[in-house]
Structure formats: structure tokens, C-alpha cells
């Protein structure tokens, strides 16, 4: 029996040694798997962080772009409002010029608008009452080289400032409102250059 006990002890010792070796190898493999999983998790975390950083940067950039656009739109709207106010004020100032200056401007406009032949100029009621003495005569002297003659109609038209020039059935609206409307874009560009450049 002693021999059997020895064999059993030897088998047990070998089995325990083999079991210890298997356990040790299993532990090493487990540690390697844990280390590998840790490295993979770290790499995945880095990728997630980098992707998140890119997405955050894109969102921030879109937000900045949208905010910049809003600011530019607000500035543009304010500039346009200021330009409209300046043009409206300029128109009102032109309408309120003292009579002498006002009719100098009117004469200049009439010379530009006149065509060869005889025409009639119509003023508003307010302007008819304040036409300077000999205005028609001085105006026609300025028009002589164009071969144009203009007569002032005693009948008023619905005009705030400026005049209407008629040749037969053709009328040219030279009211200050019409002139400012026609030149609006050019005037707007000029005011913008003066104020904002």
C-alpha cells in the first residue's frame, strides 16, 4: 500500500504542478487580455474624444458663423436705415432752400431737361407764388444755345418742389421727389462711401 500511496502522491504532486502551471498560464493570458482590452479601450476613448472635439469645434464654428452673419445683417440694416434717413433729410433740405438758391437749382435742372423747341413748365402753388422776378427771361437766356424756349404756366400742379416740363403731350417729371427716386441707387452709393468707407 505504501507503493500505491507514493504513486497517488506523485500523481497528486504532478497534477498540482500541472494545475499550478495551467492557472499561472491562465492568469498570464487573463492579464494580457485585460491589458489588451485596456489599450483598446484607451484607443477607443481617444478616438471618441477626438471625434467629440471635432464635432464641438464644428458646432462652435457654425455658431460663430451664424452670429457673424447676424451681426453683418444687423449692421447692413442699420447702415441702410441711416442712408435712407440721410437721403430723406437731404431731400427735405433741398425743398427748404431759400428762394434764390432754390430757383438756381430749378434753373439748372430745367437747362438739363430742356429740349429744342417750345415747352411749358409747371410749378406747384407754393413755388408759383415765390418765383423771382424775370426768372422766365433769365431761364430762356440760359436755354438759347439749346434752341429751347420755356414758358411758365400760371396753373399750379400738385408738386411739393421742382417742376414738370411739358412738350406737347410729353411730360417730364422734374419734381425733387422724382429726381431723388430716379437717382436713389447712385445717391445711396455716394452716401455709403461718405459715411462708411
For all residues of the chain together, what is the average pLDDT?
A: 78
Give pLDDT < 50 ranges for the chain. none
Question: Following CA atoms 166, 169, 174, 180 in sequence, which dihedral angle do they give, to the nearest 10 degrees?
Answer: -170
pLDDT of residue 69: 80
Residue from 121, 107, 122 nearest 157 by CA: 122
C-alpha angle 144-145-151 in degrees, rounded to nearest 5: 30
What whole-number distance in Å separates Cα of residue 46 and Cα of residue 156?
85
Residue 116 CA, chain-centre distance (Å), reads: 46
Question: Following CA atoms 100, 131, 111, 95 in sequence, which dihedral angle do they give, to the nearest 10 degrees?
Answer: 60
pLDDT of residue 132: 85
pLDDT of residue 187: 64
pLDDT of residue 178: 83
Instruction: Decide: pTM greater than 0.75.
Output: no
Sign of CA dihedral 170, 176, 182, 183: positive
Sign of CA dihedral 81, 86, 89, 94: negative
Amino acid at each position: 500500500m505504501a507503493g500505491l500511496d507514493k504513486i497517488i502522491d506523485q500523481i497528486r504532486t504532478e497534477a498540482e504542478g500541472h494545475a499550478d502551471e495551467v492557472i499561472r498560464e491562465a492568469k498570464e493570458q487573463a492579464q494580457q487580455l485585460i491589458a489588451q482590452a485596456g489599450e483598446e479601450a484607451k484607443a477607443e476613448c481617444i478616438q471618441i474624444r477626438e471625434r467629440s472635439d471635432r464635432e464641438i469645434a464644428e458646432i462652435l464654428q457654425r455658431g460663430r458663423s451664424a452670429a457673424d452673419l447676424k451681426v453683418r445683417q444687423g449692421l447692413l440694416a442699420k447702415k441702410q436705415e441711416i442712408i435712407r434717413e440721410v437721403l430723406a433729410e437731404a431731400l427735405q433740405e433741398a425743398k427748404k432752400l431759400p428762394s434764390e438758391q432754390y430757383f438756381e437749382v430749378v434753373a439748372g435742372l430745367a437747362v438739363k431737361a430742356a429740349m429744342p423747341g417750345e415747352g411749358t413748365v409747371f410749378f406747384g402753388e407754393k413755388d408759383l407764388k415765390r418765383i423771382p422776378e424775370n426768372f422766365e427771361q433769365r431761364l430762356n437766356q440760359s436755354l438759347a444755345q439749346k434752341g429751347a424756349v420755356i414758358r411758365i404756366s400760371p396753373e399750379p400742379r400738385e408738386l411739393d418742389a421742382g417742376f414738370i416740363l411739358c412738350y406737347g403731350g410729353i411730360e417730364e417729371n422734374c419734381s425733387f421727389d422724382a429726381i431723388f427716386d430716379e437717382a436713389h441707387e447712385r445717391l445711396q452709393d455716394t452716401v455709403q462711401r461718405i459715411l462708411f468707407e
